[in-house]
Amino acid sequence: MRVGLFIPCYVDQFYPDVAKASLELLEKYNVEVDYPLSQTCCGQPMANSGYERYGKESADLFMKNFGHFDYIVAPSGSCTLHVKDHVLPKDDKTPQIYELCEFLTDVLKVKDIVSSFPHKVGFHSSCHGLRGLRLAKCSERMDPEFNKPLSLLNKVKGIEMVELDRKDECCGFGGTFAVAEEAVSITMGNDRIADHQKNGVEVLTGADMSCLMHLQGLLTRQKSPIKVMHIAEILNGNPVK
C-alpha cells in the first residue's frame, strides 16, 4: 500500500503540529507514509473564488507529486473534496484520496485509538467533509445515522463529547468568504462558538483546520478559555496546548 500524505498549504505553514500528528498517527498503524516534498496547494482557494482556470498548474503539480500512490491521505475534508472533485481524473481507480478520519475508519478499519483525553470536547462538523465527503450523516438527510470522526473520538479514553444545539451548522469560514462577506462570516463564527460555550466545551475540535483557524481567531481575540485542536492531535494523544 503506497500512501502519500498531502498536507494542505496553510497547515504546512501555520499548523505544522497538526501535520506531525497526522503523520505520527498513520505511522502508529504501521502505514508507510511518504510525504512528497514538492507539494504545494490543491488549488481550492482559486477555484472556490471563481478562478478554477488559474489552478491548472497546481493541479498538474499535484498529480506529478501524488499520481503514483494507491492512496492519498489529507488531514482536511475540504482539500480532500476539492482534489476528489476537481483534480483527480474521474475515470482512474488510483490514486484514491481519503480524508484522515475516513482513511482510519474505512481503509485501516482501526479498532483502537491509543489516546487519553479527559476533557469536554465539542466537535465542529466541517461542511465539505460532512456533505461533500459524507463523513457523517448530515441533519438534512433522513438516512441511517453514522459519524466517522465521532466514532474515532468516542474510542479515546476519558473523552466527554458534548452535544451541541446545532450539530452541523456552518461556521462561516468558506475560504475567501471569510473576508469578502466578513460581517456574515463573523456572525456565523460567533454563533458557533456560543453553542460550544453554552454547552460547556473545553476543547473544540474538528477535521478541518481552516474552519478551526477561523473559530480560533475569534476565540483568542475574545480571550476565551476554549482551546482549539485538530482531531489528529487528539487521536494522536497530544496534550491540550
Partner 1 sequence: MKGHTHAQAAEEFIKDDARTHWHDETLWHVRQKRDLSAQGIPEWETLRDTASAAKNYVLSHLGELLEQFESNALANGVEVLWAKDAKEHNDHVYRILQENKVANIVKSKSILTEECGLNHYLEDKGYEVVDTDLGERIIQFAKQAPSHIVLPAIHLKKQDIGEIFHKHIGTQEGASDPKYLTEAARQHLRKKFIEANAAITGVNFGIAETGGFVVCTNEGNADMGTHLADIHIACMGIEKLIPRAADLGVFLRLLARSATGQSITNYSSHFHRPAQGKKMYIILVDNGRTEQLGREDFKNSLKCIRCGACMNTCPIYRRSGGYSYNSTVPGPIGSILSPGKDLKKYSTLPFASTLCGSCSDVCPVKINIHEQLYKWRQVITENTDVDASKKLAMKVAGVTFGKPVLYDLAGKMARTALRITPDSLVYSSINVWGKHRDLPQVPKESFKEWYKKNRKS
- Identify the residue among 2, 13, 118, 146 touching partner 1 (CB under 8 A): 13
Show contacts with partner 1 in window 42-101 (CB under 8 A). Answer: 43, 45-58, 60-61
- Identify the residue among 29, 110, 151, 217 touching partner 1 (CB under 8 A): 217
Look-up: residue for cell 507529486? 65
What gap in Å lies between CA 206 and CA 189, rounded to an integer? 14
Q: Does 196 bind partner 1 (CB under 8 A)?
A: no
Amino acid at 176: T
Cβ closest to partner 1, residue 115 vs residue 185:
185
Q: Does 145 bind partner 1 (CB under 8 A)?
A: no
E strands in the chain: 3-5, 33-34, 71-74, 96-99, 120-124, 160-161, 203-206, 227-230
What gap in Å lies between CA 3 and CA 132, rounded to an integer? 22
Q: Does 30 bind partner 1 (CB under 8 A)?
A: no
Cβ closest to partner 1, residue 46 vs residue 152:
46
Query: Judged by CB under 8 A, how many residues of this single chain contact partner 1?
Result: 74
Q: Does 189 bind partner 1 (CB under 8 A)?
A: yes
231 in helix, strand or coil?
Answer: helix
